[in-house]
């Protein structure tokens, strides 16, 4: 997935207005602070910036230098990827806390 930025940035020595994001892998979530509550999945701004930098293969300093409206556009693209994670965690949480799931089989 690509996001067109409002300003030129330098990535790996080249000027561009586009960042390309690959699909996340399990290891990309290492060190990313996510929490699940009754309100759903929540994460800190640092988490989005760190994950975006990993998925775009750019240094965190590149993400930190972007205008806020570009970061919001990037977050809007990444959030649906985390939405699938939220659904899986919610289902896992519900199945492990249900009496039928924890009752011994007879």
The pairing of strands 40-43 and 34-37 is antiparallel
**pLDDT tens readout for residues 54-86:** 999 999 899 999 999 999 899 888 877 765 555
Whether residue 24 contacts residue 55, with contact meaning beta carbons closer than 8 Å, is answered with yes
CA gyration radius for the chain? Answer: 17
| CA end-to-end span of the chain | 49
DSSP code per residue over 13-77:
TEEEEEEE-PPP-GGGGTT--EEEETTEEEE-HHHHHHHHHHHHT--HHHHHTS-HHHHHHHHHH
**pLDDT tens readout for residues 9-65:** 988 889 999 999 998 888 888 877 766 666 665 666 777 888 899 999 999 899 999
The pTM for the full model equals: 0.69
């Amino acid at each position: 997935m690509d996001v067109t930025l409002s300003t030129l940035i330098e990535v790996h020595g080249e000027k561009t207005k586009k960042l390309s994001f690959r699909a996340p892998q399990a290891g990309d979530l290492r060190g990313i602070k996510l929490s699940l509550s009754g309100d759903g999945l929540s994460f800190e701004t640092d988490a989005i910036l760190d994950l975006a930098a990993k998925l775009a293969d750019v240094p965190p300093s590149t993400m930190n230098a972007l205008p806020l409206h570009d970061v919001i556009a990037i977050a809007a693209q990444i959030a649906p990827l985390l939405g699938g994670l939220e659904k899986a965690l919610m289902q896992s949480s519900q199945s492990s806390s249900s009496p039928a799931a924890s009752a011994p089989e007879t």
